[in-house]
Amino acid sequence: MRFIFYLFGILSLSECAKILGIFPLNGQSHYRAGLAMMKILAARGHHVTMVSPFRLKNPPTNWRDVVLEPKDEQKMDFFNFNLHPYLQAYVFSSLGPVIMNSTLSHPVFKEFLKTKEKFDVIILEQFYSDGLKYMGTYFDAPLILYSAQGANSWTNPTVGNPAPPSYVADLVLPYSNEMNFFQRMDNAILYLVTETVRYFIALPAHDKIIKKHFPGAPDISEYYNNVSLVLLNGDTSVNEAIPKVPSMVDIGGFHLSPAKPLPADLQKILDEAKHGVVYFSMGSNIRSADMPKEKIDMFNSVFSSLKQTVLWKWEDENLPGKPDNIIIRKWLPQNDILAHKNVKLFITHGGIFSIMEAVNNGVPLLAFPIFGDQMLNAKRATAFGFARWLKFRETTVETLKSELDEILTKPKYMENAMKRSRLMKDNPLSAQERLVFWVEYVIRNKGADHLKVAALKLNLFQYLLLDIILFVSVLSISLIVFLKYALCYLLRLRGKQSSKTKSE
């Protein structure tokens, strides 16, 4: 099957394409996703240009970096991050134009734009970057969006994907797709808030910035839906089944690669862990070393009572009060560690890449979601039976001990993790192969307009059938009024006739 796939690609795309990837966010998780994607395409032989805040060490000959070095590094206190989902819709939508303006104002990007270089396709990370869709028009190239999540409220409107709030939960809400009445109401309200913010606040702000940098640019409505394909970082092993239009494709797990040999010291630690290993990492953006002292003491206390070895990604030189069974490292090869047979549990923040790496290797989870989609990811994993989750700020020694005992002693969590791992791997093509196929498909078919649904030709009023509802309502009211007056007229007429008869 894979030989046929590669042979088909060689025959159908006789020349290597020029691909532009735009990943402007100054965050390691965003960059690594874009880097993995573009490296796969470069390995295929395509000429890749990547716009990002970072530079690839030892790039191949068919690789070019356009580095947008950030002016300043802003540190966020993630452990005290607490924003209501309704406010998140506004705050993140407000950040989008700021990020876009910073990208378009960067002198390196401005020089790059002057080249007016020709590309066969552009891949843009869809993260409140609606205005940057203008790059497809500017470079006159098909535009592919990459979403760090599955189908969601960021990407659905761009390709007309249906997402009924009755059973499709917004990614910032901690609900599964089986919601009770009050959860559905909460989800529906957030849907309305999100759409209102998008159409009346976010899109006009993006449009204003684009016209500031490109005075001749058309209105954003003319290129907002000019999207050939959306590559979703989703998979049925970690996401519920929801509608997807033909121009949406799951490539979840594309960043995964076969486990590499571990460094000798780590290999020895994992091999000799008689009772197994608990691996603990809060990802690339959240530093365990920034935890409040009382939480550090809590983890030290609980971990010291475990018979398992704890391997903890800890970013400082020392961990105060560290028990003997905890081993710390500033950096750890996560996927390679999770692939080791002695890893019994992964304690994580619930980032989607971490969850996919755990599922790929069949490792159960204990999640401490902090912000964004992490709560939804943790809830889904729990619903699928291979995880548990706790609120970081409310966790105590007792609740942490209880949850660790639950997962480490009951085999159902490992069994469900292995089941999800089988589901992830049960595909005719790997995620990397799907990525390559669909990018090349868009190039071969000059934008693949045939994948677009007719919903894109409707405005919001028409899409929601508000014009039909209004017409039927007016018609029904008019008919009721007409019948009322007709009946009254007939009754009056009958009354007059009855009176006339009696008088005679």
| Residue 344 belongs to domain with CATH number | 3.40.50.2000
Buried b (16+ CB within 10 A) or exposed e, 305-337: ebebbbbbbbeeeebeebeebbbbbeebebbbb
Domain with 494 in it? 470-503
Q: Are residues 349 and 421 in the same domain?
A: yes
In this structure, the answer to whether residues 197 and 215 fall within a common structural domain is yes
Same domain, 203 and 276: no
Is the domain of 233 the same as that of 286?
A: no
Over its length of 504 residues, how does the chain's per-residue pLDDT go in tens digits?
454 444 445 444 447 999 999 999 888 888 999 999 999 999 999 999 999 999 999 999 999 999 998 875 555 555 555 667 777 777 777 788 888 999 999 999 999 999 989 999 999 999 888 999 999 999 999 999 999 988 988 899 999 999 999 999 888 887 888 899 999 999 999 998 888 888 898 999 999 999 999 999 999 999 999 999 999 999 999 999 999 999 999 999 999 989 999 999 999 999 999 999 999 999 887 888 889 999 999 999 999 999 999 999 999 888 988 999 999 999 999 999 999 999 999 999 999 999 999 999 999 999 999 887 888 899 999 999 999 999 999 999 999 999 999 999 999 999 999 999 999 999 999 999 999 999 999 999 999 999 999 999 888 788 888 899 999 999 999 999 999 898 888 888 777 666 666 565
Q: Does one domain contain both 112 and 123? A: yes
Q: How far apart are CA 89 and CA 86, in angstroms?
A: 5
Q: Do 201 and 314 reside in the same domain of the chain?
A: no
What is the reported pLDDT for 92? 75
| 18 and 83 belong to one structural domain | yes
- What's the confidence (pLDDT) of residue 249? 96
With 0-12 / 13-18 / 19 or more C-beta atoms within 10 angstroms meaning exposed / middle / buried, residue 24 is buried
Co-location of 148 and 288 in the same domain? no
Q: How many helices (H) and strands (E) does the chain have?
A: 18, 13
- pLDDT computed for residue 73 by the predictor: 55
Residue in 161, 162, 164, 186 with CA at minimum distance from that of residue 173:
186
Give the CA distances from residue 396 to residues 247, 326, 345, 366, 368, in Å, rounded to whole numbers and listed in that order: 46, 19, 19, 14, 12
98 lies in a domain?
Answer: yes
- Domains in the chain: how many in total? 3
Is 419 a member of any domain?
A: yes
**pLDDT value at residue 74:** 54
Phi, psi of 59, rounded to the nearest 5 degrees: -70, 155
Q: Are 198 and 275 part of one and the same domain? A: no
- What's the whole-model pTM score? 0.88
For residue 175, tell me if it sits in a domain: yes
Tell me, yes or no, whether 495 lies in a domain. yes
The rounded distance, in Å, linking the Cα atoms of 329 and 316 is: 8
Whether residues 87 and 156 fall in one domain? yes
Task: Examine the fold and report which residue of 402, 425, 448 is the final residue of a domain before the chain moves on.
Answer: 425
- 465 within some domain: no
The answer as to whether 64 is a domain residue is yes
In the Cβ-directed half-sphere of 4, how many Cα atoms lie within 13 Å?
A: 3
Q: Of 372, 403, 425, at which residue does a domain stop?
A: 425
pLDDT score, position 178: 87
**What is the token pair recorded at 18?**
């020029």
- d(C-alpha 198, C-alpha 175), whole Å: 22
Reported as half-sphere exposure (CB side, CA atoms, 13 A), residue 437 has a value of: 17
- Shared domain check, 173 and 273: no
CA 463, 469, 472, 474 dihedral sign is negative
pLDDT at 177: 84
Measured distance CA(453)–CA(460) in Å, rounded:
15
462 occurs within a structural domain: no
The whole-number pLDDT of residue 40 equals 97
Tokens encoding 356: 């996919």
On whether residue 250 sits in a domain, the answer given is: yes
271 and 250 both lie in a single domain: no
H helices of 144-180, where?
A: 156-159
